[in-house]
C-alpha cells in the first residue's frame, strides 16, 4: 500500500480511469482507479447554535476543556467532537457519562490516553495509548514486544495470518504505555487494550494472565512475553 501524505485530489482524468493528484512537492501525477472513495473528514460543529453568544475559551477551532470537561465558563460543560481529538463516538459517550456523574456530585476526571482508535479496514488497525516514537519522548528507554499472527492458531484457522500485536512499555518498571494491532478482526481486542492501559497494567500482568486458546487475544499475551524476553511461539 502506498500512502501519499500532504497530497491533493484534483479530480478525474478525461477518460475517467484515473485520479489526478498534486503531490506534496507540487508535482502532478495520476493514480489508475476503477473506484474512488471520497472522505471529507470531520470538523467541530461550533456555529449556528449560539456559541457566539457566550464567551468560551477556544483551543484553535475547538472548545477548550479541562479533565472534567469544564469550559472556561462556570456551569457549562462540553463533550464530543467540539472538544477536539480524538473525534470518536465512544469518547463522546464516555465524556457525557462522566459529566452526568460530576453534575450529580460524584468525583470523576478525564484522561484520553486509554481510548482505543480503530480503522475498520481490511486488515483492521487498532491503536491505544502511545506509539513507540511517542513513548520514547515520554519515557526515554522502552521495551517493545511484537507478535505475528502467522504464529497464532486462531488466525491460522481463519486464514487471516497477516498482521501482529505490539506492546510498548517503559524499560524501568514495565508499565504498558501503548498497544497496537493489525489484522483480521483485531477491533475486538480493543477492549482488552483499553482496559490494560486504564488499569495501569505492566508487562508481567498481561503475560501472567491466562488467555484462552485458540484466540487472537493470545497474541496480546505473547507480545508481552516477547517484550520480557520469554516468547513462547515466535
Residues recognised as catalytic: 213
User: What CA–CA distance (Å, rounded) separates 56 from 150?
Assistant: 51
Cis (ω within 30 of 0) for the bond into 123? yes
Q: How far is CA 43 from the centre of its chain?
A: 18
CA 108 to chain centroid, in Å, comes to 23
Strand order in the sheet with 18-22: 8-12, 18-22, 28-32
Residue 218 grid coordinates: 493470545
Q: Count H helices and E strands in the chain, helices first.
A: 6, 10
Q: Are 215 and 160 in contact (CB under 8 A)?
A: no
Whole-angstrom distance, CA of residue 8 vs CA of residue 26? 9
Q: Hey, is 9 helix, strand or coil?
A: strand
Backbone angles phi, psi at 150, to 5 degrees: -65, -20
Amino acid at each position: 500500500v502506498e500512502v501519499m501524505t500532504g497530497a491533493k485530489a484534483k479530480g478525474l482524468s478525461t477518460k475517467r480511469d484515473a485520479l489526478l493528484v498534486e503531490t506534496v512537492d507540487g508535482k502532478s501525477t495520476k493514480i489508475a482507479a476503477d473506484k474512488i472513495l471520497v472522505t471529507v473528514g470531520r470538523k467541530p460543529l461550533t456555529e449556528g447554535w449560539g456559541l457566539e453568544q457566550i464567551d468560551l475559551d477556544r483551543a484553535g477551532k475547538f472548545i477548550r476543556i479541562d479533565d472534567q470537561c469544564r469550559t472556561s465558563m462556570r456551569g457549562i460543560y462540553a463533550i464530543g467532537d467540539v472538544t477536539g481529538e480524538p473525534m470518536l463516538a465512544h469518547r463522546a459517550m464516555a465524556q457525557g457519562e462522566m459529566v452526568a456523574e460530576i453534575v450529580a456530585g460524584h468525583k470523576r476526571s478525564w484522561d484520553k490516553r486509554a481510548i482505543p482508535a480503530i480503522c475498520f479496514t481490511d486488515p483492521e488497525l487498532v491503536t491505544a495509548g502511545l506509539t513507540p516514537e511517542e513513548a520514547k519522548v515520554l519515557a526515554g528507554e522502552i521495551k517493545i514486544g511484537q507478535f505475528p499472527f502467522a504464529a497464532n492458531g486462531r488466525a491460522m484457522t481463519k486464514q487471516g495470518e497477516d498482521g501482529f500485536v505490539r506492546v510498548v512499555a517503559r524499560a524501568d518498571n514495565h508499565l504498558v504505555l501503548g498497544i497496537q494491532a493489525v489484522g483480521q478482526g483485531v477491533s475486538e481486542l480493543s477492549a482488552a487494550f483499553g482496559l490494560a492501559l486504564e488499569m495501569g497494567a505492566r508487562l508481567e500482568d498481561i503475560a501472567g494472565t491466562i488467555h484462552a486458546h485458540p484466540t487472537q487475544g493470545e497474541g496480546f499475551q505473547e507480545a508481552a512475553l516477547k517484550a520480557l524476553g520469554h516468547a513462547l511461539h515466535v
